[in-house]
Structure 1
Amino acid sequence: MEEQPAYFVKSVEKAFDVLLAFTAASPRLTVSQVAVKADMTRASARRFLLTLTDLGYLRADGPQFELTPRSLDIGQSFLANLTLPRVAEPHLKSLAARLNETTSLCILDGTDVVYVACVPSPRLLSVSISVGTRFPAWATSMGRVLLAALSEPELQAYFDSVHLQRFTERSIGSVDQLRAEIDSARVKGWSMVSQELEEGLRGVAVPVWRGNDVVAAINVSLQTHRAPAEAIEKTVVPLLQDAARQIGNDFGGRQAGLSKAAGQR
């Protein structure tokens, strides 16, 4: 076992072990259960549980203990400054550098996708998109992975209200075609839209999961002559998925099981 530094207070570590024993799957625990989860004796677990109860972080209900709202105080200062764009930015910068292309983070707002973070390509010639830019969700790769995360009633309501138009001759022309693309994005866990919004431009996107919820999509914009469509699944998609996983983890999704794939909904 790695030796701890001289300043290390073992009892603090143990106190957090006890608090972290309580999870969404195990919100109420007995002394014996905490002892097992925190790897300590039953007597030690009891002392920690009673102390944390006296401090207001736990409450006792018969033989069981559970967290109280005061436990939220521990992370409140951090959460107050936690925004998805801020969390995503370093990962988007890393992705842009690796791909040498523009990367973005988008959310669904009504029938549109809205860019909430964007890192331009390191190259001088890049796609010109800024925070606040909006596009019809149906015409973009980001929109299709976000639409794929909707419930069936929500998606049907979207189809009932959407108005399709031809941006290029490659644009989808019917709701049936759109539904097929959205279904494909749900199964694959990613989407690619090629020259449907603008000639010469291809977009690839994957969802950002926070636990079991899709909170955003990340996208890379590629000029068609720089990235053959057949190579994107092997070269670009894995990098996007890795960045999305890191963003979701940093945004609080790790313990809730972010690795759940879109196709398993």
Structure 2
Amino acid sequence: MTETKLPGDQFVQSLARGLAVIRAFDADNTSMTLSEVSKRTGLTRATARRFLHTLVDLGYVRTDGRVFELTALVLQLGYSYLAGQSLPQLVQPLLEELSSELHESTSASILDGGEIVYIARIHTRRIMTVGIAVGTRFPAYATSMGRVLLAGLPEQDLKEYLRTAELKPLTARTISTPEGLLAELDKVREQGWSLVDQELENGLRSVAVPIFNPDGSVAAALNMSMQASLADSTPDLEAAVSAALPKLQAASVKITDALRAQH
């Protein structure tokens, strides 16, 4: 039998109740009446009313006199936590969520010179001959995350990269000329995402999106990778990308917002 942990003598019940009222609001209950808040929290109507109106006075809740809703001020409650998190720590839980939803491997990387460096990864199965872990490096020009990162470089930095990069055909599909890569980066910049189809290694496909700094520059990239055998035809590949892209973009927005909250 599991022992119930009782509150200690430092426990502040009113604070716990106030937080319970805030947590009662969620995606399915964005607006609630006093009775609904009372029911969801287990508080009496009188107690729920006091907490709701206190939160209204503090600016965390708004009301039209009948229904109550949270305000954006509630987000500040999580900013202190976000401010102490590094980029890999912010990314990791979202990669786990993405991998669970898409049933594919997900990763995040940054640009270091002419290579991408993995800063976080969730793998569902091994899909490359080389194992991928945090710290793994690949040439930026042949990867979806690399192209997203290269597309976000200032013009002068991109010119310097192209001047010094050794573009080699890693597979028969690899774009390995400066002209071809520039054309592809223009496409990535315009559409806001990158798809690489078996250019780093045969049998490997991936789609990536950028993560932005508060100033609008590209901070990192987020991707999902899959085996080519799972999407051999063009319609199947397009369907796979269409399914993954909105989820990747939504995750990118969350991480970008978290980075903004740190500043």
Counterpart of 1:82 (choices 60, 82, 85) is: 85
2:222 maps to amino acid: I
Change (3 A) 1:223 1:10: closer
Equivalent residue, structure 2, for 1:93 = 96
- Return the alpha-carbon distance in structure 2 between the equivalents of residues 201 and 11 of structure 1: 53
Contact 1:171 1:195 in 2 (8 A): yes
Change (3 A) 1:167 1:13: same
Runs of 4+ in 1 over 6 A off after TM superposition: none
Contact 2:107 2:121 in 1 (8 A): yes
- The alpha carbon displacement at 1:250 in A equals 2.4
Equivalent residue, structure 2, for 1:242 = 250
- The alpha carbon displacement at 1:79 in A equals 5.6
- Does 2:151 align with 1:148? yes
Equivalent residue, structure 1, for 2:107 = 104
Change (3 A) 1:77 1:166: same
1:6 maps to amino acid: R
- The alpha carbon displacement at 1:234 in A equals 1.7
Equivalent residue, structure 2, for 1:226 = 230
Change (3 A) 1:153 1:75: same
Q: Secondary structure at the match of 1:131?
A: coil
- Return the alpha-carbon distance in structure 1 between the equivalents of residues 79 and 254 of structure 2: 21
Change (3 A) 1:193 1:101: same
**What is the root-mean-square deviation of aligned Cα atoms in Å?**
2.8
- Return the alpha-carbon distance in structure 2 between the equivalents of residues 76 and 103 of structure 1: 26
Contact 1:91 1:243 in 2 (8 A): yes
- Does 2:217 align with 1:213? yes
- The alpha carbon displacement at 1:135 in A equals 0.6
Question: 224-233 or 208-217, which moves further after superposition?
Answer: 224-233
Unmatched 5+ stretches in structure 1: 18-73, 257-265
Counterpart of 1:13 (choices 38, 42, 58) is: 58
Output the TM-score relative to the length of structure 2.
0.66
1:83 maps to amino acid: S
- The alpha carbon displacement at 1:80 in A equals 5.7
Counterpart of 2:184 (choices 181, 186, 204) is: 181
- Return the alpha-carbon distance in structure 2 between the equivalents of residues 179 and 110 of structure 1: 17
Change (3 A) 1:126 1:171: closer
Q: Secondary structure at the match of 1:6?
A: helix
Output the TM-score relative to the length of structure 1.
0.66
- The alpha carbon displacement at 1:243 in A equals 1.3
Equivalent residue, structure 2, for 1:251 = 259
1:243 maps to amino acid: A
Equivalent residues, number: 197
- The alpha carbon displacement at 1:81 in A equals 2.4
Unmatched 5+ stretches in structure 2: 1-31, 35-47, 62-76
- Return the alpha-carbon distance in structure 2 between the equivalents of residues 11 and 201 of structure 1: 53
- Return the alpha-carbon distance in structure 1 between the equivalents of residues 137 and 176 of structure 2: 20
- The alpha carbon displacement at 1:210 in A equals 3.1
- The alpha carbon displacement at 1:173 in A equals 2.3
Q: Secondary structure at the match of 1:225?
A: helix
